[in-house]
Chains A and B, each alone.
Chain A
Amino acid sequence: MATNPMHQFEVYRIGPEIKLGEIDISFTNASLFMVISSIAILLVFNLGTKKNSLIPSKIQLLAELSYTFVSKMISDTAGSKAKPYFSFIFSLFMFVLFCNMFGMIPYTFTVTSHIIVTFMLAAFIFIGVTIIGFMKHGIGYLKLFVPSGVPIVLLPLIVVIEIISYLSRPISLSVRLFANMMAGHTMMKVFGGFVISLGIIGGWLPLSFSVALTGLEILVAFLQAYVFAILTCIYLNDALNLHH
Chain B
Amino acid sequence: MIKKIFFQLIFLSFLLLGEAFASESAGMPQLNPEFWISQIFWLILTFGTLYVVLAKLILPKISANLETRKSQILENIESAEKHREESEQKIKEYDKIIQDSKIEAKNYFNKAREKILKDINLKKENLDKELNKEIKKAEIEIEDLKNKAPEKINKIAIEVSTDLIQQLIGVEVNNSSISAIVNDLSKKDKDKYYGN
Name A's B-contacting residues (CB within 8 A): 4-7, 9-11, 13, 20, 23-28, 30-31, 34-35, 37-38, 41-42, 45-46, 48-49, 52, 54, 63-64, 67-68, 86-88, 90-91, 94-95, 111, 113-117, 120-121, 178-179, 182-184, 186-187, 190, 213, 216, 219-220
Contacts and interface: CB of A to CB of B under 8 A. Distances in A.
A14 B39 CA distance: 13
Contacts of A30: 35, 38-39, 42
Q: Is the interface of B mostly helix, strand, loop or mixed?
A: helix
Contacts of A213: 9
Contact of B35 (A24, A37, A90): A24
B71 to A, nearest CB: 11
Contact of B55 (A67, A87, A116): A87
Interface of B: 2, 5-6, 9-10, 12-14, 16-17, 20, 24, 26-32, 34-44, 46-47, 49-51, 53-55, 58-59, 61-66, 68-69, 72
A11 B17 contact: no
B13 A183 contact: yes
B9 A38 contact: no
A204 to B, nearest CB: 19
Nearest to A8: B29
A68 B29 contact: no
Contacts of B63: 67
B50 A91 contact: yes
A78 B2 CA distance: 28
A165 to B, nearest CB: 22
A68 B66 contact: yes
Contacts of A86: 59
A67 B38 contact: no
